[in-house]
Structure formats: structure tokens, C-alpha cells
Amino acid sequence: MTVFLSELGDKSQLAAIALSGSCQSPRAVFLGSALALLLTSFLGVLAGGVVSELLPTQILKAIAAIGFAILAIRLLFFNNEASDAK
């Protein structure tokens, strides 16, 4: 459910909407986009499994926390170009 909610409005979803409107086979668009989501999730799980074998859980949590903090700081303080252009 979390993955579904986080993927709403994703660029791939918008591409699937555009393709299904211009394609003769909406079923093929559905199957292709579903397969792409499955493959990316599978690769993420494989990569996560490999990384979790190499690094301890505490270090992984610290890396994730630092990454999210950097993203938050960038969005708060260094994303003014988009709002200034309006």
C-alpha cells in the first residue's frame, strides 16, 4: 500500500496514461508498465540484500538518515530558483 501511494503521480504513471491514450492496445501498456515496476522493485530488493550483507544495519540507517536530511535541506534552502521564476 505504501509503494502504491508513493508512486501516485509518478512520471512513469503519467507516461503510461499518455501511451494508453495514443496506443491501440492499452492492455500492452498496462502489462509493460506493470512489468517495469516489478523489475525495478526486484532490482531494488536485490541491491538492498547485497548492501545489507556488506554493511551493518546501524550504518545503513545512518546513511539513509543523512541522505534524507541532505534532501530536506536542499528542498528548504536551495530550491528557490523554481519559486523565484513564478
Q: Report the pLDDT value the prediction gives residue 81, as an integer from 0 to 100.
A: 62
Find out whether 29 and 20 touch, Cβ atoms under 8 Å: yes
- Residue 46 or residue 81, greater confidence: 46
Q: Report the pLDDT value the prediction gives residue 80, as an integer from 0 to 100.
A: 66
H or E element in which residue 5 lies: helix 2-7
Query: For the chain, how many structural domains are there in total?
Result: 2
Q: Report the pLDDT value the prediction gives residue 55, as an integer from 0 to 100.
A: 92
What confidence tens digit (pLDDT) does each residue in 29-54 have? 889 888 988 998 899 899 988 988 99
Note the pTM of the prediction, 2 decimals: 0.55
The answer to whether residues 39 and 76 belong to one domain is: no
The answer to whether residues 23 and 65 belong to one domain is: no
The answer to whether residues 65 and 38 belong to one domain is: no
Give the mean pLDDT of 9-27.
80
Q: Which domain holds residue 84?
A: 55-86
The answer to whether residues 45 and 63 belong to one domain is: no
DSSP 55: S
Q: In sequence order, what DSSP letters do the residues of 9-26 get, joined into one string?
A: T-HHHHHHHHHHHH-S-H
The answer to whether residues 15 and 1 belong to one domain is: yes
Residue 86 has pLDDT above 60, yes or no: no
